[in-house]
């Protein structure tokens, strides 16, 4: 049987083209009731984790827009920015297969005409810890570009009602999800933030656009991160004390992995969990988080913990 044809996808490069294109797609898809638009912000170099975001958006909305923009404001390191993979043709093919209707792929001058913006979003205390401590300014850059994208793709009104608006983020960047949720709440963005679970390779490695920079040996070493989180997840499920030091010792036993942090935190505030749950049987819900350098790459991962 011949393969199903992949639906065509429209790519727009300018801010001026985006709103008319969104209105056209919403009008074409409109069934009864108020339509819904899903936005999937990405930096490209897409993998199955992004596909899961796009598929979740396609399942829940009438029209899906994905943005592909490597945002210089969120990179502290010029080399990291320069080597970040740019693969728009492959990205557009993946997004089309996943059910995305429209790709917004501006260049830097289009997104920041005349240079970097003077006025930016300050991400606040939630953004100072964990990733924020190692990457100063990173979340200000994320919030600034995400707020621009949320404005640029915001759907118009229909029959006096506002079209539903949802934005999709990967749970792998758990702190990014928490910070964006906080921004949306504090600044009254009319959008629902949806977090989509992490997609892992069969051996447990969380998918990341940066995994491609790992050698085979480094990739093997990186598996210790998901194993350490799994140790905590198993203890939490079994209602046992977490003793996170054991998970930390496991990561430190791998010489190619340089641990930055490993901790058990509240999923919303990202504050370390009360000490009691570490040494007494685990109850409730938490998030185990880890970050480490493996060769040339900084990797992050996390797992929700739940007592069963
Ligand atoms: O998660 C990402 O890829 C980026 O941080 C985002 C949300 C697209 C903003 O540039």
Cβ-count burial 158-181 (b if 16+ within 10 Å, e if not): beeeebbbbbbbbbbbbbbbbbbb
301, pLDDT greater than 60: yes
215 and 192 both lie in a single domain? no
| Ligand 1 lined by 42 (C-beta under 6 Å) | yes
CA dihedral sign, ordered 80, 290, 186, 14: positive
CATH number at residue 151: 3.40.50.620
How far apart CA 167 and CA 193 sit, in angstroms, is 5
What is the chain's mean pLDDT, rounded? 94
Atom 9 of ligand 1, residue of closest alpha carbon = 142
| Ligand 1 lined by 41 (C-beta under 6 Å) | yes
Q: What is the mean pLDDT of residues 248-263?
A: 98
Tell how far the Cα of 168 is from the centroid of ligand 1, in angstroms.
10
- Three-state SS at 226: helix
- Of 171, 196, 221, which closes a domain? 196
Asked if residue 243 is part of any domain, the answer here is yes
128 and 221 both lie in a single domain? no
Residue 168 and residue 52 in contact, taking contact as beta carbons nearer than 8 Å = no
Cβ partners under 8 Å of residue 84, min gap 6? 43, 45, 70, 75, 209
Residue 91 and residue 10 in contact, taking contact as beta carbons nearer than 8 Å = no
**Helix/strand/coil (H, E, C) string of 35-98?**
CEEEEEEECCCCCHHHHHHHHHHHHHCCEEEEEECCCHHHCCCHHHHHHCCCCHHHHHHHHHHH
Supply the pLDDT for residue 117. Answer: 97
Supply the pLDDT for residue 6. Answer: 55
- Of 196, 219, 248, which closes a domain? 196
- How many distinct structural domains can be found in the chain? 2
pTM score: 0.95
| Ligand 1 lined by 102 (C-beta under 6 Å) | no
Asked if residue 2 is part of any domain, the answer here is no
- Three-state SS at 170: strand
Tell how far the Cα of 67 is from the centroid of ligand 1, in angstroms.
9
Asked if residue 4 is part of any domain, the answer here is no
- Three-state SS at 198: coil
pLDDT in tens, 194-222: 999 999 999 999 999 999 999 999 999 99
Reported residue count of the chain is 308
103 and 40 both lie in a single domain? yes
125 and 32 both lie in a single domain? yes
pLDDT in tens, 258-294: 999 999 999 989 999 866 677 788 888 999 999 999 9
How far apart CA 42 and CA 146 sit, in angstroms, is 10
Please tell me what DSSP assigns to residue 200: B
Containing domain of residue 220, as a range? 209-306
190 and 279 both lie in a single domain? no
| Ligand 1 lined by 142 (C-beta under 6 Å) | yes
21 and 124 both lie in a single domain? yes
165 and 227 both lie in a single domain? no
49 and 89 both lie in a single domain? yes
Nearest ligand 1 atom to the CA of 71 is: 10
222 and 181 both lie in a single domain? no
192 and 214 both lie in a single domain? no
């Amino acid at each position: 049987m011949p393969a199903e044809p992949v639906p065509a996808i429209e790519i727009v490069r300018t801010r001026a083209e985006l709103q008319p294109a969104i209105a056209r797609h919403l009008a074409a898809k409109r069934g009864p009731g108020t339509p819904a638009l899903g936005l999937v912000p990405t930096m490209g170099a897409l993998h199955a984790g992004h596909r899961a975001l796009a598929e979740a958006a396609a399942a829940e909305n009438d029209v899906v827009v994905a943005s592909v923009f490597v945002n210089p404001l969120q990179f502290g390191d010029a080399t990291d920015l320069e080597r970040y993979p740019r693969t728009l043709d492959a990205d557009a093919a993946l997004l089309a297969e996943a059910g995305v209707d429209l790709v917004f792929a501006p260049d830097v001058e289009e997104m920041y005409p005349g240079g970097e913006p003077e006025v930016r979003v300050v991400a606040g205390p939630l953004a100072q810890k964990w990733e924020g401590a190692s990457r100063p300014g990173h979340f200000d850059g994320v919030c600034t570009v995400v707020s621009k994208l949320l404005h640029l793709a915001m759907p118009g009104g229909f029959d006096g009602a506002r079209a539903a608006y949802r934005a999709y983020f990967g749970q792998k960047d758990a702190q990014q999800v928490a910070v964006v949720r906080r921004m949306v709440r504090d600044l009254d963005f009319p959008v629902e933030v949806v977090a989509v679970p992490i997609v892992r390779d069969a051996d447990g490695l969380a998918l990341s656009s940066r995994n491609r920079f790992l050698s085979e040996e480094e990739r093997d070493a990186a598996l210790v991160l998901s194993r350490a989180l799994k140790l905590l997840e198993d203890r939490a499920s079994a209602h046992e004390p977490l003793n996170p030091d054991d998970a930390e010792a496991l990561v430190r036993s791998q010489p190619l992995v340089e641990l930055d942090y490993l901790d058990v935190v509240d999923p919303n505030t990202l504050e370390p969990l009360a000490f009691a749950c570490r040494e007494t049987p685990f109850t409730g819900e938490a998030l185990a988080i880890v970050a480490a350098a493996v060769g040339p790459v900084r990797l992050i991962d996390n797992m929700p913990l739940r007592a069963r």
